[in-house]
Amino acid sequence: MVYLRQIESRIDQGIGRRRLGYIVLGLIILFFLWFPNDTSQSNYAKTVFISGFFYAIMSSSWALLAGIAGQFSFGHMAFMGIGAYVAGLIARDGIMFATLGIAITPESFSAIGSIIIGTLVAGLVGLVIGWLLLRLRAAYLALFTIAFSELFRIMMLTEYDYTGGSNGLSLRPLLQIADVDTARQVEYYLMFALLIVCLLVMHWVANSPIGLFLRAMREDEDAASALGVNVVRYKILIFVFTSMIVGLAGAIFYSDVGSERIIPEQLEVLQMSLIIAYAVIGGMESLIGAAAGAFISRYMLEAMREVVISLPFGLTTADGGDAFVWETGAWRFALFGVVMVFTLRYMRNGLLYPFITWFSGRDLAMKETVSKRDGDGDDIVEPMGADDE
């Protein structure tokens, strides 16, 4: 422990924590840029990473909505589905305004055009849902969004003539590259770029005055309002913004980038719970924490499909093998549940919170406060008032 403190002290006096944090982040980004060029990696591994990037966008945007703005919504996957389904339906059927006698043929839309419309429709539905949710808080908000999410899923499941029902809906492929290896590589970079852009935009929002107002709203809506914050405006704004982000991510991911079709099963509450769990494990008040939590969790869940344990001392299995192979099946989710329980009980800010706090230097500011308090103790009045919150 003393040795660790010495290292910490040297870093503080030398390069500085924040700068070191940027270097670590830069190295991580370099790793992800290098990864698809590693010829030893299979296309399956790249597919796992692409899926990880997608879930990182989902969890980090949910962290912005719930962790930073305090709107604990279960509707995130539904908004993702709206983006994907609308993009798919428009690319297949076009748009018809029967009353105006206007019909736009599917051929008029490129894959990008249909993705943009899917994103806008997700934002529009976010606007309506955000407005309906204005007076709802906490459990009521969560229940409302579960109901909305289920309503949308059942619609997609039932209207199989249009949506393909449980078979799902294929979207127009965004990329048309014949060579499988090249296609995977381009898809990988596309999804990674989307993640980086989404994180940068969300980071900008979270660190702008809007982010400050969102956090004030999360802490106490009435107090924020009394301090001049237009709570209604920011509540709707954050719903529209995050709905558009996940709508865009869904429309791109299911345009044969990460998956070839969107199925209603993806919109189930269980899937939404996983998004929340990833964010909680990583740290739901930190965008980067939630994104990292989602990526690492997705990777671990895939890596744990089959656990191989080499047997020591020349021991063999009943069939003569030198390793014990455990097909984990659903047990990997049970283990994931244990991690979730541990996080909620002992590290409510997420498993990555200590690292984020350390690299950001936030704990240094707190130490400075404590040292000032110790130094100026005589001037500080210790109130007798109840510490009631």
Partner 1 sequence: MSDINLELNKISMRFGGNQAVDHVSFSVTKPELIGLIGPNGAGKTTLTNVLSGMLKPSSGTIYLNGKRIDGHPAYDVTRAGLGRTFQITRALGRMTVMENMMVPGLALKPNARKADLEARAQEILGMLTIEHLTHELSRALSGGQRKLLELGRLLMLEPSVIILDEPFAGVHPRLQETIYKYIFRVHEDGKAIILISHDMGAVFELSQRLLVLHNGALKERSGCNRRLPRP
Nearer to partner 1, 134 or 311 (CB): 134
Residues numbered 154 to 183 that lie near partner 1 (CB under 8 A) are none
90, 229, 240, 263: residue in contact with partner 1 (rule CB under 8 A): 229
Under rule CB under 8 A, residue 228 binds partner 1: yes
The span from the CA of 211 to the CA of 273, in Å, is 25
N-term to C-term CA, the chain: 34
Q: Report the relative pairing of strands 323-327 and 261-262 from DSSP bridges.
A: unpaired
CB of 227 to partner 1, least distance (A): 4
Q: 12 vs 159, which CB is nearer to partner 1?
A: 12
3-state secondary structure of 95: strand
The answer to the question of residue 347 lying near partner 1 (CB under 8 A) is no
CA 219 to chain centre: 22
Judged by CB under 8 A, does residue 285 bind partner 1? yes
- Determine the interface stretch with partner 1 among 16-24, 114-122, 154-162, 380-388 (rule: CB under 8 A): 380-388
Site string for partner 1, 199-218 (x = CB under 8 A): ----------x--xx-xx-x
Is residue 225 at the binding interface for partner 1, with CB under 8 A as the rule? Answer: yes
When the beta carbons of 167 and 369 are compared against partner 1, the nearer one is: 369
Specify whether the CB–CB gap between 281 and 350 falls below 8 A: yes
CA dihedral over 356, 360, 361, 362, signed as positive or negative: negative
* CB nearer to partner 1: pick between 237 and 246: 237
Q: Is 12 in the site for partner 1 (CB under 8 A)?
A: no
The reply to whether 295 sits near partner 1 by the rule CB under 8 A is no
| Of 194 and 229, CB closest to partner 1 | 229
**Interface with partner 1 includes 138 (CB under 8 A)?**
no
Distances (CA, A) of 40 to 76, 189, 301: 36, 18, 21
State how far the Cα of 69 lies from the Cα of 294, in Å rounded to an integer.
Answer: 19
Examine residue 376 and tell whether it contacts partner 1 (CB under 8 A). yes
Q: Does 69 bind partner 1 (CB under 8 A)?
A: no
Residues in contact with partner 1, total (CB under 8 A)? 38
Minimum distance of partner 1 from residue 290's CB (angstroms): 16
- By beta-carbon proximity to partner 1, the closer residue of 108 and 369 is 369
Give me the residues paired with residue 309 across strands.
324
Is the CB of 7 or the CB of 384 nearer to partner 1? 384
Candidates 38, 159, 219, 265: give the one binding partner 1 (CB under 8 A): 219
Shortest Cβ distance from residue 175 to partner 1 (Å)? 42
CB of 383 to partner 1, least distance (A): 3
Q: Which helix (H) or strand (E) holds 239?
A: helix 231-252
What is 148-217 written as a DSSP string? HHHHHHHHHHH-HHHH-GGG-EEPPPS---SSHHHHHHHHHHHHHHHHHHHHHHHHHHHTSHHHHHHHHH
C-alpha span between 45 and 14 (Å, rounded): 38
What are the start-end ranges of the H helices in 35-178? Answer: 43-62, 76-93, 111-132, 138-158, 160-163
Looking at the Cβ atoms of 222 and 319, the one nearer to partner 1 is 222
Of the two residues 312 and 377, which places its CB atom closer to partner 1 in the complex?
A: 377
Q: Out of 226, 308, 330, 338, which residue is the one contacting partner 1 (CB under 8 A)?
A: 226
Cα three-residue angle 213-216-222, rounded to 5 degrees: 110
Minimum Å gap between C-beta 228 and partner 1 is: 4
Asked if 187 interacts with partner 1 (CB under 8 A), we say: no
Cα–Cα distance between 148 and 79 in angstroms, integer? Answer: 10
Q: Which two tokens stand for residue 377?
A: 């103790």
Provide φ and ψ at 200, rounded to 5°. -65, -45
Task: Measure the CA–CA gap between 343 and 210, rounded to whole angstroms.
Answer: 29
Is residue 249 involved in binding partner 1 (CB under 8 A)?
no
Binding residues (CB under 8 A) for partner 1: these are 209, 212-213, 215-216, 218-220, 222-232, 285, 365-366, 368-369, 372-373, 376, 379-389
